[in-house]
Amino acid sequence: MSDFEGLKALVTGGASGIGRATAELLAARGAEVAVLDLDPSSVDKPLLAHRADVTDDASVRAALSAAVTDLGGLDVLINNAGIGAQGTVEDNDDEQWWRVLDVNVLGMVRTTRAALPHLRESAHAAIVNTCSIAATAGLPQRALYSASKGAVLSLTLAMAADHVREGIRVNCVNPGTVDTPWVARLLDAAPDPAAERAALQARQPAGRLVTAAEVAGAIAYLASPLSGSTTGTALAVDGGMQGL
Ligand code: NAI
């Protein structure tokens, strides 16, 4: 498929996991792709790499501007950078709350703010936010993370409404548990990694973890001109967690 031929895309958190799979898929389908990440050292050609911290507005603006210059424009923004948190409301202090909200919610606001003037110039402008099934399902031990992704879902809907008349579509994907380096770190830290993996698999009716490639495929659909009439939606990629 070459449905991204001629399109320019930027993927935040594109050095690892879902972001990396998405950047590689968009490039394979013809896009020119830049990755914006805290640590882009592992990113190879044909992907372009820019270092930035989404919690730092000046760093986001500088990296986004450099990426747009390299790409020669911007059609697609994938707001994917995010971090996790475990626990109930009693387990995370204010500092942890502000930190996760800063990365997961304000991070998307900063990149979107910097990207909008460029997206307005595109005939195929699309933003896809990586949300989570945690935004719509009550998951135990994920109070802070779920609140951050709930905000991402609402932000997606509000942005879709604000920019629909400008021809900019905004959607999000809601993955279940995805087999990425993030989940590998979570399992490594668990007292019994095999039992933890089994519990995560059991949470999804399909009985297995989602793959990064499956989430990338959903993001690519929402980013591509093929979904030109789709805006303000959340696409679940969760092995049936939400619907079954
Ligand atoms: P990952 O940890 O493999 O990759 C995240 C990437 O984001 C890394 O390359 C990291 O350097 C980058 N990043 C983190 N903080 C950053 C910052 N302040 N500025 C710039 N870059 C930063 O994680 P994964 O699993 O690929 O997650 C990606 C997104 O998918 C996140 O938004 C996460 O909330 C979401 N998600 C993940 C699920 C999972 O089970 N893995 C499930 C549902 C959603």
- Domain boundaries along the sequence of the chain: 8-175+211-237, 179-209
Say what the pLDDT of residue 244 is.
78
pLDDT tens digit string along 38-51?
A: 999 999 999 999 99
Give the pLDDT confidence score for residue 29 in this predicted structure. Answer: 98
What separation in Å is there between the alpha carbon of 165 and the centre of ligand 1?
30
Give the number of the atom of ligand 1 that is nearest the alpha carbon of residue 104.
32
Q: What is the DSSP string of 16-47?
A: SHHHHHHHHHHHHTT-EEEEEES--TT--TTS
Q: What is the pLDDT of residue 197?
A: 93
CB 23 within 8 A of CB 11: yes
Does pLDDT of 143 surpass 90? yes
Is 221 one of the annotated active-site residues of the chain? no
Q: Please state, in angstroms and rounded to a whole number, the distance separating the CA atoms of residues 121 and 143.
A: 39
Q: What is the ipTM of this complex?
A: 0.99
Superfamily for 8-175+211-237? NAD(P)-binding Rossmann-like Domain (3.40.50.720)
Nearest CA to ligand 1 atom 30: 130
pLDDT value of position 145? 98
Whether 187 contacts 135, CB under 8 Å: no
Closest CA to 236 of 168, 149, 166: 149
3-state secondary structure of 127: strand
Strands 8-12, 234-237: pairing is unpaired
pLDDT given at position 242:
87
More confident residue, 186 or 79: 79
Q: What is the pTM of this model?
A: 0.98
Residue nearest to atom 33 of ligand 1 (CA): 82
Active-site entry in 145, 159, 172, 180: 145
